[in-house]
Amino acid sequence: MVNVLVKWQGKKYEVDADITMPGEYFKAQLFSLTGVAPERQKILVKGGQLKDDTDMSQLGLKENQILMMIGTVGELLKEPTQPVKFVEDMSENEVAQALSIPAGLTNLGNTCYMNATLQCLKAIPELKSAMEKHNVARGQTDARANMVESLKGLFKQLNESGEGVPPFVFLQFLRQAYPRFAEQDSQHGGYRQQDADEFWSEMLTTLDQVLGKDGSVSTVVDKHMSGRMVTTWKCDEAPDEEPTERQEPFRKLNCIIDKSVNYLSQGIKKGLEEVIEKHSETLGRNADYRSVSRIARLPEYLTVTYNRFFWKASESIDAKIVKSVKFPLDLDVSEFCTPELVEKMRPARLHLREIEDKKAHERKLAKKGQNAEPEAEKKDMDVDVKPEASSAPFELSPEFKADDGCNPTGMYELIGVVTHIGRTANSGHYMAWVRKEKGVGGPDPAGRGIPETQHWWYKFDDDEVSMVTDDEILKLCGGGDWHTAYVTLYRAKKLE
């Protein structure tokens, strides 16, 4: 690091210039201080003007050296409309964009935890819509507000780019708002690897705080990604003591992993039921209390984290539990809900099952039509009976209608996974796996013969993006040195 002074509009700004990073990173630092967008900056250095790809180590910067910046805060003029291009005239990146292959994020030095999390959050359209409606004044000092504003721009870049996007500006604001994400690795140099689950939590907190400043009663995070939990404590040693109850919001469910847990549902149950020791007024001493938590409100998007890391004192590391824990593509969480919520969800659950049965029946008929038997053989075949639908049309209850962003069925489908490969929390590599919606984006890869019920997924290895099927996603359950699910994102199934 070299401390330099940048002079702009009569003021001087102290900047710790990281000479190991390109010029684009230095411009991002100035953007956070002055509000002048990197593309509007003209920074005069020895030999000319600082460019995005300038090697900072070759500039010979000295302590307290003064640099001059020219530029104004404001909107850029729109570029003229580009002429139409044919596929044969396009570069590989332009073809990728035309086919709607999503862009990845460049790894800026152990930032895979950030890249993987952002790709999963980008799969939530309500988040993008809320950010687009929210405007932040340029040049303000609130790092969290600047984080959200830069994330909005970053998502826009990802939608428009056909190649990897370096998230310099967002990363700069992230490290300002949360300095621990700027921790250095004292042994190997550079920035330390960070925990994707911690970053996920901080992102939701930041989005909730910033997007709530417009005076909204509840934010997009409150509505679509937060639920409500009811927890009851009862002392088995004092049966006459009244149970205590508390309600509180939650943004994720924890999957506790031990020797007895082989499936996600088992781990979630362990996270919702535990025994704790606390003082009993009835007994006048500490006693064991059984704590049972049940969900009273389900969000449209449900985050589940897997407690795979623990402190290993003998080696002074956050060691990883690599045990296999199978997770489903379709998740039913009704068993973890309060009896009252289960009863309220019953009509919507029945309607959803009727929809799924009808779709399965239609697929079966279509398949038989493609493999038609000779007329003589058809007589011996069992007659298909169409699933019986309820006579009255379904209508969602007024309570669920009024609760924007809730899940009225308790049924979810998997749309995103953050995985980790490696043996400790402070090492290894994170990746994102995001489901491609049918009929959205570019065409699905052809000639693989996968069933219609399966989905294709985008595999984001930083800025390298490829495609896999459901079968590959189910292999992310752990059990060895392969990519292991660490955070899973589920979305409520649609009642249509």
Distance (Å, whole) CA 317 – CA 309: 9
Q: Which letter does DSSP use for residue 263 in this model?
A: B
Q: Which has the closest alpha carbon to 170: 101, 114, 221?
A: 114
Q: Give the residue among 338, 333, 347 at the shortest CA–CA distance from 492.
A: 333
Instruction: Give yes or no: 429 in active site.
Output: yes
For residues 97 and 433, give the distance between their C-alpha atoms in angstroms, rounded to a whole number.
Answer: 19
Q: Give the three-class secondary structure for 298.
A: coil
Q: What is the CA radius of gyration of the chain?
A: 27
Residue (of 256, 349, 262) closest to 298 by Cα position: 349
CA 179, distance to chain mean position in Å, is 21
Distances (CA, A) of 435 to 102, 152, 298, 455, 489: 12, 21, 22, 7, 10
**Distance, CA of 441 to CA of 101 (rounded, Å):** 7
Active-site annotation holder among 120, 224, 255, 429: 429
Q: Which residues pair with 485 in a beta bridge?
A: 419
CB count in 10 Å sphere of residue 177: 17
What is the distance between the alpha carbons of residues 17 and 38, in angstroms, rounded to a whole number?
A: 15
Catalytic residue among 112, 120, 406, 477: 112
Based on the residue annotation, tell me whether 477 is a catalytic residue of this protein. no
For residues 133 and 220, the answer to whether their CB atoms sit within 8 Å is no
Contact 195, 113 (CB under 8 A): yes
Distance, in Å, from the CA atom of 445 to the CA atom of 441, rounded to the nearest integer, reads 12
Please tell me the distance from the alpha carbon of residue 411 to that of residue 271, in angstroms, as a whole number: 19
> In a 10 Å sphere around its CB, with 0-12 CB exposed, 13-18 middle and 19+ buried, how is residue 391 labelled?
exposed
Give the tokens for residue 196. 């994707």
| Catalytically annotated residues | 112, 429
